[in-house]
Structure 1
Amino acid sequence: MLKKRVVPILLLKNGRLVKGVKFNHYRDVGDPIQSAAVYNSQTADELIILDINATQESYFDLLKILAELTKSCFMPLALGGGIRTFDQAAQLIHSGADKIVLNTICYQKPELVSELAKRFGSQAIVCNIDVRKHIASNNYILYSHSGKTHEKVSLAAHLKKMLDAGVGEFMVQSIDRDGTMLGFDQFLVDEVMSQVKTPLLIAGGSGNYQHLHQIFTQTNVSGVVCGSLFNFSDSSPIRARAYLLNYGLPFKLV
C-alpha cells in the first residue's frame, strides 16, 4: 500500500515566506530557509515551495533558496512558480529539486509539459490546478497566474490533457478554501478522482488534524498540502503524522 503524505507548503513573495486567504491579503510569516529547516527536522514527507510572484527575477530567488536548502535539507523538494521554459525547469532539477510544479505553462504550452515528462520522468512533474466553485453552475472554474486568470477549459478536459502530456501527479487547490482553515473540499477530490487514477494532493482548507483524518478516510487522496495549519498553530508535520498513524492510516514511520 502506498504511504500517505502530509506536505507543508511555502509560498514565496520577494524572497519572503507569505500566507494569504483565498489567494489575497498576503502577509509576511517569516524566513523560508528557517521554516524549511524546521520542516526538515520534523521529517516532513516532502516540501513544496511556490513563488507566487512568478517573474524572471523571482525565479532566481527560487534558485538561491534551493541552493541553500540542498545544503542541509534531506526531504524531497518540489518547486514551482514562473517556470516558462525547458531550461528553467531543467536547472531546478539539476540544482536539487526532486519535482517541479507547473501551473500556468500547462495551459499555455502543454507540449512543454510533455517534453519535460519525457526527459525527467512523470514522477518529477506535478500539475498544480487552482479552482473556484461556480455556485450557479456547480462547476469548478480553473485559474492560472496565481488565481488571477480564468482559463476557459473544463476541469475534466484539463486533467485529460495533462495525463496525455505525461504528468505524474496532480496538486489541486481550492481557492475558496485557501487560508480559511475550514476543511478541505471533499467534493473537489471526488470530482478529480472520478476522472484520474494518478496520485493526487489536495490543498486549501486544512485547519486541524481532524480535517486531515476526514479527507484521508473518506477519499483515496495521496496526500494533503498544508500551509496555514502549520503557520498559525502549534501543529507540525510530525504531530499530524502521529495523529493519523494512531488511526491506522498508512504513513511513513520515523
Structure 2
Amino acid sequence: MLTKRIIPCLDVKNGRTVKGINFKELKDAGDPAEMALAYMNEGADEIVFLDISASNERRKTMSQWVERAAERIFIPFTVGGGISSVEEAKFIISLGADKISLNTSAVKDPNLIKECSDLLGSQAVVLAVDAAFNQEKKRYEVFVQGGTTPTDLDAINWIKKGVSMGCGEILLTSIDRDGTQQGYDLRLINEAANAVQVPIIASGGAGSKEDFLYAIQAGADGVLAASVFHYGQINIKELKKYLKSKGIPIREEDLYEFPNRKG
C-alpha cells in the first residue's frame, strides 16, 4: 500500500508566507524558504509553494523561491501560481522544483495541461482545483484567480477533464473550509477520489489530527494544511505517529533531522 503524504502548504504573497480564512484576511506567517526547511526537518513528505496573488496580478511566479527552496531542502516540492505557458513550467522545473501546479491558466486553456505533461511528464504536472459548493445547483463549482472568481465549471467534471489531458495529481482545495479548521470537506474528497485514478491531495479545513485521518479515509492520498502547521497547533512528527497508530501507512524515515541539499 502506498504511503500517505503530509504536505505543508506555503501560500506566498509578495515574498512572504501568508494565511487567511476563506482566502481572505491574510496575515504574515513567515519566510517561505526557512519555513520549508523547518518542515522538512519536522518530517514533511513534500512542500507546496503557491503564489496566491500571481494569477490575480498577472505576474510570473518568483523564481527566487524555487532557487532558495532547492538550495535548502531535498524532499519533493511543488510550485504554482502564475504559470501560464509550457516555457514557464519548464523554467520552474529547471530551477529545481519537482512539480508545477496549474490552476487559472489551465481553466483558460486546458491544452496547457497536455503541453506540460507531454514535455515534463504527467508526474510533474499538478492540477490545482479550488472548489466551493453551489447550493442552488447542488454541485461543487470551480473558482479561479485565487479563489475569487466563479467559473460555472462543475468541479468533478473539470477534474476528470484535467486527468484526461495528462495531469498526474489533483490538489483539491475546499474554499468553504479554507482556514476555518472545521475539517476537510469529506464529500468533495470522496467524489473526486471516486472519479479519477490519480492521487488526490486534500486541502482546506484541517484543525485536528482527526481531520487528517478522516480525509485519508475519505480517499485522499495526501493531506495538505497551512494554519495548523504555521502556528504550531499540530506537529508533523506527532501527527504521523497518530496516523500510524490508526493503521495509516506513512513514511517513517523522517524521524530525524535532515541536512539541506547543499550540505
TM-score band (shorter)?
A: over 0.9
Which residues in structure 2 correspond to 1:52-91 (within 5 Å)? 52-54=52-54, 55=57, 57=59, 59=61, 61=62, 63-91=63-91
Identity over the aligned pairs, expressed in percent? 33
Which residues in structure 2 correspond to 1:162-181 (within 5 Å)? 162-181=162-181
Equivalent position amino acid for 2:140 in 1: Y
Q: TM-score, normalised by structure 1?
A: 0.95
Give yes or no for the alignment of 1:4 onto 2:4.
yes
- What is the rounded CA distance, in whole Å, between the counterparts of 1:234 and 1:34 in structure 2? 18
Show the counterpart of 1:247.
Answer: 246
- What is the rounded CA distance, in whole Å, between the counterparts of 2:50 and 2:177 in structure 1? 18
Given that 1:7 and 1:237 are in contact with CA atoms closer than 8 Å, whether structure 2 keeps it comes out as no
Show the counterpart of 2:261.
Answer: none
Show the counterpart of 2:196.
Answer: 196
Given that 1:8 and 1:237 are in contact with CA atoms closer than 8 Å, whether structure 2 keeps it comes out as no
Equivalent position amino acid for 2:127 in 1: C
Show the counterpart of 2:105.
Answer: 105
How many residues align structurally? 251
- What is the rounded CA distance, in whole Å, between the counterparts of 1:17 and 1:156 in structure 2? 29
Q: TM-score, normalised by structure 2?
A: 0.92
CA apart distance, 1:135: 2.1
SS of 2:153's equivalent? coil
Show the counterpart of 1:135.
Answer: 135
Which residues in structure 2 correspond to 1:213-224 (within 5 Å)? 213-217=213-217, 219-224=218-223
- What is the rounded CA distance, in whole Å, between the counterparts of 1:155 and 1:174 in structure 2? 11
The gaps in structure 1 that reach 5 residues or longer are none
Deviations 1:87-143 (A, max 9, x none): 111011011110001101111111121011011111111100001111233211110
- What is the rounded CA distance, in whole Å, between the counterparts of 2:163 and 2:214 in structure 1? 27
Between stretches 68-77 and 44-53, larger displacement belongs to 68-77
SS of 1:116's equivalent? helix
Equivalent position amino acid for 1:135 in 2: Q
Which residues in structure 2 correspond to 1:199-210 (within 5 Å)? 199-210=199-210
Show the counterpart of 2:257.
Answer: none
- What is the rounded CA distance, in whole Å, between the counterparts of 2:12 and 2:80 in structure 1? 10
The gaps in structure 2 that reach 5 residues or longer are 254-263
Given that 2:17 and 2:28 are in contact with CA atoms closer than 8 Å, whether structure 1 keeps it comes out as yes
SS of 1:106's equivalent? helix
SS of 2:133's equivalent? strand
Between stretches 169-178 and 157-166, larger displacement belongs to 157-166
Show the counterpart of 1:119.
Answer: 119
Which residues in structure 2 correspond to 1:27-46 (within 5 Å)? 27-46=27-46
Show the counterpart of 1:144.
Answer: 144
Between stretches 86-95 and 154-163, larger displacement belongs to 154-163
CA apart distance, 1:19: 0.1
Deviations 1:152-201 (A, max 9, x none): 22123312221121010001110010000010110101221231121101
Given that 2:78 and 2:101 are in contact with CA atoms closer than 8 Å, whether structure 1 keeps it comes out as yes
Show the counterpart of 1:156.
Answer: 156
Equivalent position amino acid for 1:101 in 2: S
Show the counterpart of 1:51.
Answer: 51
SS of 2:93's equivalent? helix
Given that 1:8 and 1:48 are in contact with CA atoms closer than 8 Å, whether structure 2 keeps it comes out as yes
